[in-house]
């Protein structure tokens, strides 16, 4: 079942961005990069590791390294109760 981004963020998911460095299949000494983004759960990152396993199983370019960062988009301290409203005409 596919969920929208807001539902994922409210369940604790954050945006994970990973940069894959891999060797070109025909030119093994040449490195190339690939950027991947997905909503994932820290600290285990199940979706990231599932994608890495897919890469190693299905993609011809062997991985050199992976850099990633994770950012929770919604945190408990970011919600505020608004008491009033000002209108400017």
The answer to whether 17 touches 69, Cβ cutoff 8 Å, is yes
**Sign of CA pseudo-dihedral 55, 57, 63, 68:** positive
H or E element in which residue 9 lies: helix 5-10
Q: What is the mean pLDDT of residues 81-85?
A: 62
Q: What is the pLDDT of residue 26?
A: 92
- Predicted model pTM: 0.75
The answer to whether 64 touches 22, Cβ cutoff 8 Å, is yes
Q: What is the pLDDT of residue 3?
A: 72
Q: What are the pLDDT digits (tens) for 4-58?
A: 888 888 888 899 999 999 999 999 899 999 999 999 998 899 999 999 999 999 9
């Amino acid at each position: 079942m596919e969920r929208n981004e807001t539902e994922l963020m409210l369940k604790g998911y954050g945006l994970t961005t990973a940069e894959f460095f891999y060797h070109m299949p025909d030119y093994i000494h040449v490195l190339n990069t690939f950027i991947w983004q997905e909503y994932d759960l820290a600290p285990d990152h199940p979706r990231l590791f599932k994608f890495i396993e897919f890469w190693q199983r299905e993609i011809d370019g062997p991985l050199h390294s992976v850099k990633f960062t994770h950012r929770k988009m919604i945190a408990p301290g970011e919600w505020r109760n608004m008491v009033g409203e000002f209108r400017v005409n």
